[in-house]
A and B are shown apart, each in its own frame.
Chain A
Amino acid sequence: GAVVSQHPSWVICKSGTSVKIECRSLDFQATTMFWYRQFPKQSLMLMATSNEGSKATYEQGVEKDKFLINHASLTLSTLTVTSAHPEDSSFYICSASGDRGLVETQYFGPGTRLLVL
């Protein structure tokens, strides 16, 4: 299958700081990348969809000024959690779809666990 990486795999930060998470498609070009958030024992919650070179589309209830998404190339998207607070602590997962297989298929990264103290 297609390979998607995320960095860092985990991060601990102080309240009020910003954290950047990178998502890379390693062996295919990702025309679309998705960012999800997952709480323990729950399903994945889509935060936003980003297409290369254009602004991200955020789901209802997700603050675009708090969760900044950039998709500058066909292999890289970043999520920046600005002024993080303890309630932002969660498991953040990206996925990518593109020219590997059919475009409808999303391949997921390994996730980034964020803990805000």
Chain B
Amino acid sequence: GQQLNQSPQSMFIQEGEDVSMNCTSSSIFNTWLWYKQDPGEGPVLLIALYKAGELTSNGRLTAQFGITRKDSFLNISASIPSDVGIYFCAGQPPMIYNQGGKLIFGQGTELSVKP
């Protein structure tokens, strides 16, 4: 089946630093979504990408849908302590393979920010 490889698995950074994480796959996706999950909570949608090449920002967050449709990255600029959490990428395969609209999730990137 389709899989997403998300990296890095964890990051320990200093407050104010920029962060970059990415997801890659050998298969194409129609949609890329980036979520953040705090402990004991459900994932919260950060950015949704619907077209290859699309670059979208949400405050200090920027994400891009790779032109090959097989990858996506998320950047966080000037990190702050509340950025701590687990970030997941999720891709939706083309509907021809995915009639139910399921998402494939990456393994997550655990971000720690030192004040």
Residue in B48, B100, B101, B106 whose CB lies within 8 Å of A43: B106
- What is the total number of residues of chain B having a CB less than 8 Å from a CB of chain A? 23
- Residues from chain A with a CB closer than 8 A to the CB of B33 are 105-106
Q: List 22 A-B contacts (CB under 8 A).
A: A32-B100, A32-B101, A34-B102, A34-B103, A43-B88, A43-B105, A49-B101, A91-B40, A93-B42, A93-B43, A102-B31, A102-B48, A104-B31, A104-B48, A104-B50, A105-B48, A106-B33, A106-B45, A106-B90, A107-B45, A108-B43, A108-B44
- Residues from chain B with a CB closer than 8 A to the CB of A101 are 48
Bits for B100-115, please: 1 = Cβ < 8 Å to A, else 0: 1111011110000000
The answer to whether A110 touches B108, judged by C-beta atoms less than 8 angstroms apart, is no
- What is the total number of residues of chain A having a CB less than 8 Å from a CB of chain B? 27
Residue in A32, A44, A46 whose CB lies within 8 Å of B88: A44
Name which of B31, B33, B43, B92 has the most chain A CB atoms within 10 A of its CB: B43
- Residues from chain A with a CB closer than 8 A to the CB of B35 are 108
Bound Cα distance A43, B106 (Å): 7
Name which of A6, A44, A113 has the most chain B CB atoms within 10 A of its CB: A44
- Residues from chain A with a CB closer than 8 A to the CB of B40 are 91, 111, 113
Q: A22: shortest Cβ distance to chain B, in Å?
A: 14
In the complex, which residues 68-115 of chain B have their Cβ closer than 8 Å to any Cβ of chain A? 88, 90, 92, 100-103, 105-108
The answer to whether A104 touches B30, judged by C-beta atoms less than 8 angstroms apart, is yes
Bits for A33-52, please: 1 = Cβ < 8 Å to B, else 0: 01000000011101001000
Which residue of chain B has the shortest Cβ distance to A2 in the bound complex? Answer: B45
